[in-house]
Amino acid sequence: MITGLKLRVVTPSGPVVELEADAITACSELGEFCVLPEHRPILAALKPGRFIVEVNGETRIYATDVGFFEGGADHVNVMTQHCVSKQSLADKVADLETERASLAESLGRLEEDSPARSTLESGLTWVDAQLAVVRESAL
């Protein structure tokens, strides 16, 4: 019987999380889902949101950006643009709010068909995901 999941989260900068987890919850394009040991193979497109890792009774919460989630009975691999812990975001709320206001203002000045629109919208979605994670109360 498999008792844990080998988790590896990588970003373009390299690995950011590598540990043995008891359960993993992520946000996909189709909704939130949880993976436990002995899960059937899974592949999902991630959307920006919270990423929860249970390790020995401890809950670790991260904000993840768009990416892919691949898992099986004994492992989970996540490839994402960004992954930051809720704890590391606690001191950055003011900066995130400033960044959000700047992105929203820039978006408001763009024409609907501007090529820069999707980049700014992606940035805004990522900032919103981080703010949602850091503002969320305990589970």
8 has which bridge partners?
Answer: 18, 77
For residue 3, give the nearest of 93, 75, 94 by alpha carbon: 75
**CB neighbour list of residue 23: distance below 8 Å, 6 or more residues apart:** 5, 34, 35, 36, 52, 53, 54
DSSP 13-54: TEEEEEEEESEEEEEETTEEEEE-TTPPPEEEEE-SEEEEEE
Average pLDDT over residues 74-86: 97
Q: Looking at the structure, do residues 58 and 11 belong to the same domain, yes or no? A: yes
Average pLDDT over residues 78-105: 95
Q: What is the pLDDT of residue 100?
A: 95
**Quick one: pLDDT band at residue 84, thresholds 50, 70, 90?**
very high
Q: Looking at the structure, do residues 38 and 82 belong to the same domain, yes or no? A: yes
78 has which bridge partners?
Answer: 9, 69
Percent of all residues in the chain with a pLDDT value above 70, rounded to a whole number: 98
Q: Looking at the structure, do residues 58 and 114 belong to the same domain, yes or no? A: no
4-53 pLDDT, tens per residue?
999 999 999 999 999 999 999 999 999 999 999 999 999 999 999 999 99
Structurally, the chain folds into a number of domains equal to 2
Asked if residue 115 has pLDDT above 90, the reply is: no
**Quick one: pLDDT band at residue 137, thresholds 50, 70, 90?**
low
Q: What share of the chain is helix, strand, coil (3-state, %, to 5)?
A: 30, 40, 25
Q: Looking at the structure, do residues 16 and 51 belong to the same domain, yes or no? A: yes
Backbone angles phi, psi at 40, to 5 degrees: -65, 160
**Quick one: pLDDT band at residue 139, thresholds 50, 70, 90?**
very low
116-130 pLDDT, tens per residue?
889 999 999 999 999
**Quick one: pLDDT band at residue 114, thresholds 50, 70, 90?**
confident
Q: Looking at the structure, do residues 79 and 122 belong to the same domain, yes or no? A: no
Q: Looking at the structure, do residues 40 and 80 belong to the same domain, yes or no? A: yes
Q: Looking at the structure, do residues 44 and 81 belong to the same domain, yes or no? A: yes
Question: What is this structure's pTM?
Answer: 0.90
Q: Looking at the structure, do residues 49 and 112 belong to the same domain, yes or no? A: no
Query: Could you tell me the residue range of the domain that residue 22 belongs to?
Result: 5-86
CA distance 81 to 68: 10
Asked if residue 99 has pLDDT above 50, the reply is: yes
Q: Looking at the structure, do residues 50 and 97 belong to the same domain, yes or no? A: no
Q: Looking at the structure, do residues 92 and 51 belong to the same domain, yes or no? A: no
